[in-house]
Every structure is written in C-alpha cells, then in structure tokens.
C-alpha cells in the first residue's frame, strides 16, 4: 500500500492546527507580515526557477500550448460557472467563491511534469505548458476573478498595488536574476522545495486561523464538506473528459495527449494560496482556499491513477 504524500498530511495538519489553535491578536499581525514576505519570496523563486529556454524550445507547438491554456483559463471558469448556475444551493456563497477562484488559477508545475514523466508523455511540452500557464496566471487570474466572481474590488488601486508588489515584481526580479541564480537554485532544489512548501503551510494556517476565529466550522458541516468534495470531483472529471476529447479531435499524438490531459486539468496550490491571500480579505481567505486544498488532493490521487493507466498503455504498445 502506497504511503500518503507527506505534504498532503502536513496540509491537513495545518488546517487542524488552525482549527484547534488559531492565531489571535498580535500573533495575527506578525503572521500577516511574515506571510506577505514569504509570498514575495515564493514568487521571486518561481521567477528564478522557471526556465525561459523551455518556453522557447517548445513554443513552436502552439496548438498544444494553446489548448492547455484554453483548459486552464477558459474551460475551467466556464465549467465552474455552469456548476454554480446548476447547483447554486449545494454550497454556501463563500465556498462557491472558493470553487470559482480555483477555476481561475494556473496549472501546477512540479506535479504536471512528474505525472507526465510517469505516464510516458511529452515532458518537454509539459514543462513549457506549465511554465506558460504560471506566467500567464500572474496576469490572468486577477482578471478572471474579477469577471467570474464579479469582484470589482480586485482592480481597486490598493489591490493592484498589492498584486504588483507581492506577485509580479518579485517574479520579474527572479527572471532578471535568473542567469546569476539559476545554477545556485538548481543545486539547492530540495532545500528550496522544502521552504516553498513550508511557506504554503504557514499561509494556509494563517488564512484558516482568520476563518476559524470568524466561525468557519459553524458554517460548514460534514455534509457541506462532502458536497464540496463532490463539486471538486465533478469539476475535475468534466475537464479531464473535455481535455481528452479535444486532444483526440485535434489529432494529437498519444504523448502530447498525456501533456494536455495532465497539465490542462491541474490547478496550482502553490500559486493559489498566496494569490487568495493577496486578492481576498482576511475574513474570506480561509473559506476561499478550502475548495482548492480539497481539489489539490483529489487531482493528485485521480491523475496519478490516469498516469499509471497511460504508462501501462504505452508499455503494451497500444
């Protein structure tokens, strides 16, 4: 039996800790400043790590890259909005905002590449697609949140400044310093990964602490969590089916199909949690990240099964 992912266990533990011992008072103020700093550091390191060479080498396959971007930033919001219209009362409005928010996020990088490799897909194309998705997400996610959630406050002067200072400028700085720091970052890949994940855990703890103090668990029952998991699963299954169908209709090879299906169906927890912290107020950020945390676990489990199925198919020569 396969052991559970340590990061997923840590993620659940952060939510449990925030539920039992939420940060209050001066601790909340300190954690607020600390999470702002960590978010800037995370996006700076994303700028350092995301290789422009991978984009240049694979950008010629514009149909594949375009289809992954279409799934991430057009198909997902359309499916999420459709589910919201069909099942408006299955979740409370704050949780629905979280579902719609995750629909506006870019794809993952690490897990998309790892699962594509496991499945025997086009790894280089997945590197490019995930990279492009994350770069585009810095610009597109706030726009989509404004459109899909009708959250006009995203484009207030203070919000634009927060997004620029905490997300965009650190990313650009990382890209500019990439020639100097990329080799250093590559040598310390494991350490940086641990720091990134620790930062995400702290941001999740801080967001949930606010939500717990405001009574998130008095608003959400175990039935609500089951309903949320079902909505997340339905969202993932619809996008998986659509990306698979589109790749077949467009005549992509089996290896390219793997990249489209596994990259186009993913949503990034690493980008989503910091973005939620920047875009949404403290009073709602905890509600917003809960659907993303559940979706992250569901996507890893289901997409791992799909990757293994593709691997078996390629091994048998089908």
| Residue 59 φ then ψ, to 5° | -65, -20
Q: Supply the pLDDT for residue 54.
A: 60
What is the rounded average pLDDT of the residues 57-79?
A: 88
pLDDT score of 157: 56
Residue 237 confidence (pLDDT)? 97
Q: What is the CA radius of gyration of the chain?
A: 19
DSSP H or E segment with residue 41: helix 26-49
- pLDDT of 2 reads 56
Q: What pLDDT score was predicted for residue 227?
A: 95
| pLDDT tens by residue, 71-122 | 999 999 999 999 999 999 999 888 999 999 999 999 987 788 888 888 888 8
| Closest to 272 measured CA to CA, from 129, 107, 150, 131 | 107
Measured in whole angstroms, the distance separating CA 208 from the mean position of its chain's CA atoms is 17
Average pLDDT, the chain: 85
CA distance 48 to 147: 30
**Per-residue pLDDT, 81:** 96
**d(C-alpha 141, C-alpha 134), whole Å:** 10
Do residues 268 and 137 touch, judged by C-beta distance below 8 A? yes
- Contact assessment for residue 204 and residue 273, using Cβ atoms and an 8 Å cutoff: yes
pLDDT for the residue 4? 67
Question: Is the CB of residue 225 less than 8 Å from the CB of residue 239?
Answer: no
**Higher pLDDT pick, 62 / 162:** 62
Q: How confident is the model at residue 59 (pLDDT cuts 50, 70, 90)?
A: low
- 282 vs 162, 180, 185, 206, CA distance in Å? 14, 37, 32, 9
Could you tell me what percent of the chain has a pLDDT over 90?
27
Q: CA 282, CA 96: separation in Å to the nearest integer?
A: 17
pLDDT, tens digit, 9 for 90 and up, residues 227-249: 999 999 999 999 999 999 999 99
For the ranges 18-22, 44-48, 99-103, 214-218, the one whose mean pLDDT is highest: 99-103
pLDDT digits (tens, 9 = 90+) for 247-284: 999 999 999 999 999 999 999 887 888 888 888 877 78
Q: Encode pLDDT of 121-177 as tens digits.
A: 888 788 788 888 888 888 889 889 989 987 656 655 566 677 777 777 888 898 889
Percent of the chain with pLDDT over 70: 92
Residue 85 confidence (pLDDT): 95
Distance, in Å, from the CA atom of 299 to the CA atom of 257, rounded to the nearest integer, reads 17
Rounded to 5 degrees, φ, ψ at 236 are -65, -45
Distance CA 312, CA 9 (A): 28
């Amino acid at each position: 039996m396969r052991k559970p992912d340590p990061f997923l266990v840590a993620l659940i533990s952060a939510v449990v800790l925030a539920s039992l011992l939420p940060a209050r008072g001066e601790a909340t103020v300190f954690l607020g400043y600390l999470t702002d700093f960590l978010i800037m550091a995370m996006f700076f390191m994303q700028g350092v790590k995301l290789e422009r060479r991978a984009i240049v080498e694979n950008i010629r396959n514009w149909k594949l890259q375009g289809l992954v971007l279409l799934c991430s930033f057009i198909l997902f919001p359309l499916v999420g909005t459709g589910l919201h219209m069909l099942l408006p009362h299955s979740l409370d409005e704050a949780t629905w905002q979280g579902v719609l928010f995750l629909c506006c996020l870019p794809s993952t990088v690490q897990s998309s590449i790892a699962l594509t490799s496991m499945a025997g897909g086009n790894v280089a194309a997945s590197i490019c697609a995930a990279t492009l998705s994350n770069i585009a997400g810095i610009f597109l996610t706030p726009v989509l949140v404004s459109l899909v959630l009708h959250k006009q406050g995203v484009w207030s002067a203070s919000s634009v400044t927060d997004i620029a200072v905490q997300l965009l400028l650190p990313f650009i700085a990382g890209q500019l310093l990439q020639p100097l720091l990329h080799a250093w970052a590559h040598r310390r890949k494991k350490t940086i990964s641990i720091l990134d994940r620790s930062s995400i855990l702290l941001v999740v703890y801080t967001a949930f602490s606010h939500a717990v103090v405001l009574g998130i668990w008095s608003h959400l029952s175990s039935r609500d969590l089951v309903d949320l998991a079902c909505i997340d699963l339905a969202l993932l299954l619809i996008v998986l089916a659509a990306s698979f169908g589109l790749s077949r209709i467009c005549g992509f090879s089996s290896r390219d199909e793997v990249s489209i299906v596994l990259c186009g169906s993913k949503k990034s927890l690493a980008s989503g949690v910091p973005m939620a912290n920047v875009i949404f107020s403290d009073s709602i950020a905890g509600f917003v990240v809960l659907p993303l945390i559940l979706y992250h676990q569901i996507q890893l489990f289901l997409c791992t099964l799909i990757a293994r199925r593709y691997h078996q198919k390629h091994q048998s020569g089908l």
